[in-house]
Each structure stands twice: as structure tokens, then as C-alpha cells.
Chain A
């Protein structure tokens, strides 16, 4: 079974340019997460989707970041315009749903963004 797929794997852009990341979760997983991981730190949640609905976007910088999950499957995360401080690894994760007590999140390989 394929895991969480992300593209691109690497992206280098100049500041003030837009950038978009794509994520395809594990088939059947209703919950999708976007995290940002700065160098030497743990991931921090940006947004969580339950199907098509963004149920936790409190840590998403809404002035420049946006996300969507059309049809409750694939998701895109966009930054416009990008700033130097946005350089990080952007991780996507998915999990089945919240009906059970255990909720393992499966992570993709991430997109490494460098803003020059």
C-alpha cells in the first residue's frame, strides 16, 4: 500500500514568490494534517482537515498561507508571498479518523523549501 505522497520534494524560490505543495494521503484516511518543521526542531501543526473541513487552522498564518482539500482527498498548501523565514520542511500526514482511541498519524517524506 502506498504511503503519504508529497510533491515536490524540494523547492527553491526567491522571496516574495508564491509556492505550493501537494499531498495525497493514504487511501481511506479521512484526516489530513500539514506540519512545518524548522531545522533542529519538531514539527508544528499548521492545519488539520476532517474530510473537506478545516477543523483546526489556529496556527496557520492566514495572511500568507492558505490550504484546501477539495473532495476530501488530496490537499494543497500555498504560501504567497514567501518570506525568508518560511524556509523549512513541510510535512503532510494522514490518519483514519477520530472514532477510535488510537490515532496513528502516517507522515509523508516532506517538501523541503528554501527561500532565498
Chain B
């Protein structure tokens, strides 16, 4: 059974700092890995999707990497802003189009 773990569970940083969120998964037989953002009381918004054959994806200040063989992914956020405060979820897609999510990292960026 696929298990996804995210570290740390919570992170608080001052505005402007660069930061890294970590995700690990137990079964490397994945189709893709996605990073989502969830704001309080709202649904999930897809940030980046990395296919299993890719190593990284970038969108603005966000960069996600994937090392499938070691079962690891990182989400790098550059020059963090208070508006980045949210919960960040990592999910891997396995056979049957099933997404398995981690428990998330709750990020707070302080002005």
C-alpha cells in the first residue's frame, strides 16, 4: 500500500525567506506526483504536476523536484510572502488513477 509522508508538519518563517517542503513515498511505481495548496475552509488547488519521467517542474517562485528511485520530492518556495501561508499537500498517482495524499505541511509566512 502506498504511503506518503510530509515533513515538517508545520513551518513558520519570516517573509522573504526561501524554504523547502519535503515529501516521501514508499512505492516508486507512480505515474506522477502533484503538489497542492489548500487554504482554510477551501478545496485544493493544483500547483505543480511532475510526470514520473520528469525530474522537476517550475512555476513562478515554485520549483518541485522528483527523485522517483528514492521516493522523494521537494517543493522549493523562493522569497516567501504572507500570501503563501496555507497547507501544502503532496500526492502521488498510482495505478487506477488513484491519488494518495500526504498529511500536509502547514506553512505560515510572517510579515
Report the interface size for chain B: residues with CB under 8 A from the other chain: 23
Interface of A toward B, CB cutoff 8 Å? 4, 31, 40-45, 48, 55-56, 91, 93, 98, 101-110, 112
Q: Which of B25-65 contact A (CB under 8 A)?
A: 32, 34, 36, 41-46, 49, 51
What residues on B are CB-neighbors of A106 within 8 Å?
46
Contacts between the two chains (Cβ within 8 Å), count: 56
A43 touching B44 by the CB < 8 A rule?
A: yes
Knowing A56-B96, A109-B41 are in contact, say whether A42-B49 is a contact too (CB < 8 A): no
What residues on B are CB-neighbors of A110 within 8 Å?
42-43
Closest residue of chain B to A4, judged by CB? B43
Interface of B toward A, CB cutoff 8 Å? 4, 32, 34, 36, 41-46, 49, 51, 89, 91, 93, 96-99, 101-104
What residues on B are CB-neighbors of A41 within 8 Å?
101, 103-104
CA–CA, A87 to B93, complex, Å?
26
